[in-house]
Amino acid sequence: MTEGLIAPKPALRRFQQARWDEPAIFDLHTPGSRGVLVPLPDPEMSVGDPLAALPAALRRAEPPGLPELSQLHVLRHYLRLSQENLGVDLNIDVGQGTCTMKYSPKVNDTFVRDPAVAALHPLQDESTVQGVLELIHRLQRMIAEISGMDQVSLQPGAGSAAIWTNVAMIRAYFAARGEAAQRDEIITTVFSHPSNAACAATAGFRVITLHPDADGYPSLAALRAAVGPRTAALLITNPEDTGIYNPRIAEFVALVHEAGGLAAYDQANANGILGITRAREAGFDLCHFNLHKTFSTPHACGGPAAGACAVTEALAPYLPRPVVGFDGERYFLDDDRPESIGKIRPFYGVVPNLVRAYAWIMSLGAEGLRTAAETAVLNNNYLMHQVSRIRGVSVPYAAGRPRLEQVRYSWEQLAADTGVHSEEIGYRAADFGTHYWTSHHPYVVPEPMTLEPTESYSRADLDEYAAVLAEISREAYEEPETVRTAPHRAAVHRVRHETLDDPDRWAVTWRAYRRKILGEQV
């Protein structure tokens, strides 16, 4: 056998992304084109102009300015756009640390597409939706068991919507006790998800942020300096974005309780602790999960991701309504909750994702959940071992200690040696067909990179991802211009962040694009 035929490490892909120069769909407008020609009704069957029944104030003066296209053009347009993406089913997607999408088993989508779910309307009488209510009720009990909490609402959205729910319940709890004016401070940490600070501020709380010490998490002394009679709550993630578990978390919670505050556990991502430790055992009063991060449902890009908020009995009256109840014979929407913070989303949650999460949990069982977490931790530490050997990368904080589900790495040394920055490594990673993310802002870890493999990816996948990073490191040291001018083989060269950060220039609708970018009077 010729030695050269044996690949000592994963071969790098010769990836080339499609580039279609596809216009916006509004620019494809061709007057007279249409997808479906709806036949005129039989005059004998006609009921007249259906719009005439609407009050005049609800009727548009002119039809909406939608583009006219044939079905084929629409299909081709969106297929082309999909080829210019690095979607979760296309790449080794471990580069979206803190929020890596786990594999969503396709079989679970068949349940969602089943008319028993897909054909339901949220305004149906509850007697006609007993099946889906039973599923939601069962999922509520599963989340209660997984978290150790007493009651659960699946009504909120995920992420900031769920954190907002937590903050709103905390505010309602102290308002009911007559302490709302006194307790106006919320404590969080710089490596907890920034939505914790943002939601607390939005709700009118003062926000105190703790910074980590050399172990990677804040000291008890720091918390002691922050906590006091004004403390409403501690909002904390554990492990934080560094993947480091704070082993003194129960002492943190106890300290806040001693001051009369509440403790909320941001378990949006529970990939490293599922089935191993529970919020209740650490003394928390409330927590939430993102079903897309931990329970394998689609993220949906800021769209219909589902959250799960779990609380102790003391906070149960404030849960969003409705909660799905069971009276021993029938399931019902419990909307009569006078102390509830109200609705976070319309109706009773993102039902398709609740179905997927329920199916995922049922398919794994209690032991399977724990195995998923253990595999995620094993994968992460394997990847850390591989990535740590790459020139220019380091693992800040708690040197030599293993991590749980993710790691926030630093390319500080590489940047100092070569002038190549982490964002540029991300652009270059796209040339190999892989996604990459740095960190939330501001960068507390210099030149950050956050990787989270979850349990979904194989050893070969992780080796391939590490090989891509090793190759980019080599390029940074030997031919830095290749990295600095990347991407070369991806559809989009660089996203101009300055327009995304500027309210005067961002355009998220076609009309805003015409007004702000094209300068038209619309």
Partner 1 sequence: MTALVGLVVNPVAGVGGAVGLKGSDGETTQRRAHRLGAVPRAGERAALALAELAARHPEELRLLTADGPMGAEAALVAGFRPQLVHRPGRRTSAWDTTATVRALRRAGVRLLLFAGGDGTARDVLAAEPGCPVIGVPTGVKMHSAVFAVHPRAAGETAAAHLSSGLPVHPREVVDLDEEALRRGRLGARLHGHLPVPELPLRIQQRKTGATTPDPAALGGIAAELRTFLPPGELLVLGPGSTTHQVAAALGAETTLLGVDLLRREGAGLQPLATDLGERELLDRLAGRSAWLALSPTGGQGFLLGRGNQQLSPAVLRSAGRSRLLVLATEAKLAALRGRPLHLDTGDPALDAELSGHHQVITGFRRRALYPAY
Residue 502 interacts with partner 1 (CB under 8 A)? Answer: no
Q: Which stretch binds partner 1 (CB under 8 A): 50-58, 221-229, 312-320, 472-480?
A: 221-229
Q: Would you count residue 225 as binding partner 1 (CB under 8 A)?
A: yes
Asked whether position 181 contacts partner 1 by CB under 8 A, the answer is no
Minimum CB distance to partner 1, residue 260 (Å): 19
Cβ-based nearer residue to partner 1, 275 or 396: 396
- Note whether 213 binds partner 1 by CB under 8 A: yes
The C-alpha atoms of residue 282 and residue 254 are separated, in whole angstroms, by 9
Q: CA-to-CA distance for 352 and 57, rounded, in angstroms?
A: 34
Question: What phi and psi values does residue 332 have, to the nearest 5 degrees?
Answer: -150, 160
Single residue of 396, 426, 453, 487 touching partner 1 by CB under 8 A: 396
**Residue of the chain from 206, 389, 401, 459 that contacts partner 1 (CB under 8 A):** 206
Contact pick of 152, 168, 197, 390 for partner 1 (by CB under 8 A) = 197
Cα dihedral 154/185/502/298 (nearest 10): -20
Does 212 sit near partner 1 (CB under 8 A)?
Answer: yes
* 442 lies in the binding site for partner 1 (CB under 8 A): yes
Q: How far is the CB of 33 from partner 1 (least distance, A)?
A: 46
Q: Which residue in 402, 446, 506, 510 binds partner 1 (CB under 8 A)?
A: 446
Q: How far apart are CA 369 and CA 490, in angstroms?
A: 37
Tell me if 214 contacts partner 1 by CB under 8 A. Answer: yes
Q: Which residues contact 259 (CB under 8 A, 6 or more apart)?
A: 227, 228, 229, 231
Here's the x/- map for partner 1, 344-383, by CB under 8 A: it reads as: ----------------------------------------
- The interface region with partner 1, picked from 58-66, 206-214, 249-257, 387-395 by CB under 8 A, is 206-214
With contacts defined by CB under 8 A, name the span among 213-221, 285-293, 399-407, 451-459 that binds partner 1: 213-221
Stretch that binds partner 1, among 45-53, 105-113, 208-216, 264-272 (CB under 8 A): 208-216
Q: How far is the CB of 522 from partner 1 (least distance, A)?
A: 29
Cα–Cα distance, 101 to 81 (Å, whole number): 20
The answer to whether the beta carbons of residues 441 and 465 sit under 8 Å apart is: no
Contact segment (CB under 8 A) with partner 1 among 124-132, 201-209, 296-304, 471-479 equals: 201-209
- Distance in Å, CB of 442 to partner 1, minimum: 4
- 343: CB partners within 8 A, 6+ apart: 155, 320, 321
Q: Using CB under 8 A, which of 173, 174, 205, 427 touches partner 1?
A: 205
* 99 three-class SS: coil
Among residues 457, 464, 470, 468, the alpha carbon closest in space to that of 406 is found at 457
**At closest approach, how far in Å is the CB of 195 from partner 1?**
14
- What ranges in 392-446 are assigned the alpha helix state H? 412-418, 422-431
The interface mask with partner 1, positions 29-58, x = CB under 8 A, is ------------------------------
**To the nearest whole angstrom, how small is the minimum distance from the Cβ of residue 214 to partner 1?**
8
Stretch touching partner 1 by CB under 8 A, among 110-118, 223-231, 314-322, 356-364: 223-231
Q: Does 250 engage in binding with partner 1 (CB under 8 A)?
A: no
> What is the residue whose two structure tokens read 């800021």?
302
249-254: list long-range contacts, CB under 8 Å, 24+ apart.
Answer: 249/282, 250/281, 250/282, 250/283, 251/220, 252/220, 252/223, 253/282, 253/283, 253/284, 254/283
Closest CA to 322 of 304, 289, 349: 349
Residue with Cβ nearer partner 1 (223 or 268)? 223
Q: Min. distance of Cβ 443 from partner 1 in angstroms? A: 6
Residue type, 448: P
Q: Which is nearer to partner 1, 259 or 306 (CB)?
A: 259
Considering the rule CB under 8 A, would residue 482 count as an interface residue with partner 1? no
Pick between residue 205 and residue 265 the one whose CB is nearest to partner 1.
205
Write the Ramachandran bin of 223: left for phi over 0, alpha for psi from -120 to 50, otherwise beta. alpha
Query: Toward partner 1, which CB reaches closer, 131 or 204?
Result: 204
Give 223's contacts (C-beta < 8 A, 6+ positions apart).
187, 210, 234, 252, 255, 256
Nearest to 309 by CA among 82, 147, 117: 147
Scan residues 226-245 and list those touching partner 1 (CB under 8 A).
226
Site membership for partner 1, residue 505 (CB under 8 A): no
Does 221 engage in binding with partner 1 (CB under 8 A)?
yes
Cα(328)–Cα(480) distance, integer angstroms = 68
Contacts of 149 (CB under 8 A, 6+ apart): 143, 279, 280, 286, 287, 310, 311, 312
Would you say 428 and 486 are in contact if contact means Cβ atoms under 8 Å apart? yes
Q: How many residues bind partner 1 (CB under 8 A)?
A: 27
Considering only CA atoms, which of 449, 482, 433 is closest in space to residue 10?
433
Yes or no: say if 92 and 457 are a contact pair by the CB < 8 Å rule: yes
Spatial distance between the Cα atoms of 151 and 312, rounded to a whole number of angstroms: 6
Binding partner 1 by CB under 8 A: which of 229, 363, 443, 502?
A: 443
Interhelix angle for 351-388 vs 459-478, to 10°? 50
User: With respect to partner 1, which residue has the nearer C-beta, 191 or 358?
Assistant: 191
Please say which residue, 208 or 255, places its beta carbon nearer to partner 1. Answer: 208
Task: Identify the H or E element spanning 233.
Answer: strand 231-237
Residues lying near partner 1 in the complex (CB under 8 A): 190, 197, 201, 205-214, 218, 221-223, 225-226, 396-397, 441-446
